[in-house]
Amino acid sequence: MKKLGLIGAGQLAYMICEAAKTWDVACICLDKSDAPAHRLCQDRIVGSTNDGTKYTELAKKSDVLTIEIEKIDLEALGDLNIIPNEQCLKILCNKYLQKEFLQENKIPSAPFFLVTSRSDLERNKDGSFVLKLASGGYDGRGVFTWPNSDLKDDFFHSQVYAEEKQEIAKELAMIVSRNAKGQIASFPATEMQMREDKQLDYLFSPAAIEETLNHQMQDICKNIVTKLNYQGVLAIEFFLTKSGELLVNEMAPRPHNSGHHTIEACESSQFDHVIASAFDWDLPSTKQNQAAAVLNLIGLSKEQCESLLEPEIRGAYLHYYHKAARPGRKVGHICFVAQRLEDAVENLKKVQERIKEYA
């Protein structure tokens, strides 16, 4: 039995552990004691995911080492082999370095510049920007509008860059994987349905886009993983602008929320691809057999999550992450599948109504 060492035991690791059962792979996870995947993995190391002193211990127990979280101590990896490799992680764990990589390789993304102080922005008075932290932000928490009177001077002590504000028509994502042999597979595109307040409402796949756009996204994904000599699963988020331009927004060197539906809707899941690519096995089919819509469950208790699925709602799959409920915390998701996307979305909306009763 092969052994996969995972830095991180969050919900992504939990779903990797679930997939590993069908591959005859054992998972060993490093994370704090209450992390979700510690319940499922075959062996565990308790500690912080950015405590580099634990990496050697994890590597000794594993055939292959990989990550499920970007919050790791890259310097501490030393000579240890990791998938994706250290060079890829250096770029992908820092959004500013991602932007430089995209620019150097002429891959379309919004124009940007590094910001070291307020005056860098004040000099560009005509521009309309969004400010982004190069690392540490997630789910919109590292993104700020400009001008912004709430930002204190010490904000600019972190690595920050400004990006030209785009008129976004659609937010899209694609999951791609590549093994060491150079095989590449991508899943059909996902669309993020945003609310009026620009927060995520739900996700659905296949995205409501022309086939040519899907191909354009696939080509960009292939280009990126090839240029990076990437091994593993990579999630790529895109903007389709109102003028029809396809821009790469950001990338994550791991499975992603926009690929959760692949568990139920596709012939293999993004988590199967973590395993296949890590061991350089053939990448399984990414064919999507059903339409899917995914609703994230935020701040709900286990009982509340479990009470959401009425028996009359067909094709609904609850994934509870075994995390204590806190306001704003993602504690699970429900994937709704159906032959027609409208049916999956209709069921999702019924559950959204039930959630409102808990508010």
Residue number with CB closer to ligand ADP (137 or 299): 137
Enumerate binding residues for ligand ADP (CB under 6 A). 110, 130, 132, 137-143, 163, 165-166, 168, 171, 198, 237, 249-250
Smallest distance from the beta carbon of 197 to ligand ADP, in angstroms?
10
Smallest distance from the beta carbon of 268 to ligand ADP, in angstroms?
26
- Kindly report the backbone phi and psi dihedral angles of residue 129, in degrees, each rounded to the nearest multiple of 5, phi listed first: -125, 160
Q: What is the DSSP string of 202-267?
A: EEEES-SS-HHHHHHHHHHHHHHHHHTT--EEEEEEEEEETTS-EEEEEEESS--GGGTTHHHHBS
Residue number with CB closer to ligand ADP (62 or 109): 109
- Which residues make Cβ contacts (< 8 Å) with residue 312, sequence separation at least 6? none
Nearest to 344 by CA among 269, 289, 272, 302: 289
Smallest distance from the beta carbon of 166 to ligand ADP, in angstroms?
4
Residue number with CB closer to ligand ADP (161 or 281): 161
Element holding 296 (H helix, E strand): strand 291-298
Residue number with CB closer to ligand ADP (111 or 182): 111
Smallest distance from the beta carbon of 21 to ligand ADP, in angstroms?
30
Q: How far apart are the first and last CA of the chain?
A: 46
Nearest to 82 by CA among 232, 264, 227: 232
Residue number with CB closer to ligand ADP (108 or 137): 137
Provide the residue count of the chain. 359
Smallest distance from the beta carbon of 250 to ligand ADP, in angstroms?
5
C-alpha to C-alpha distance for 128 and 124, rounded to whole angstroms: 9
Position closest to ligand ADP via CB: 166
Smallest distance from the beta carbon of 248 to ligand ADP, in angstroms?
11
Residue number with CB closer to ligand ADP (23 or 238): 238
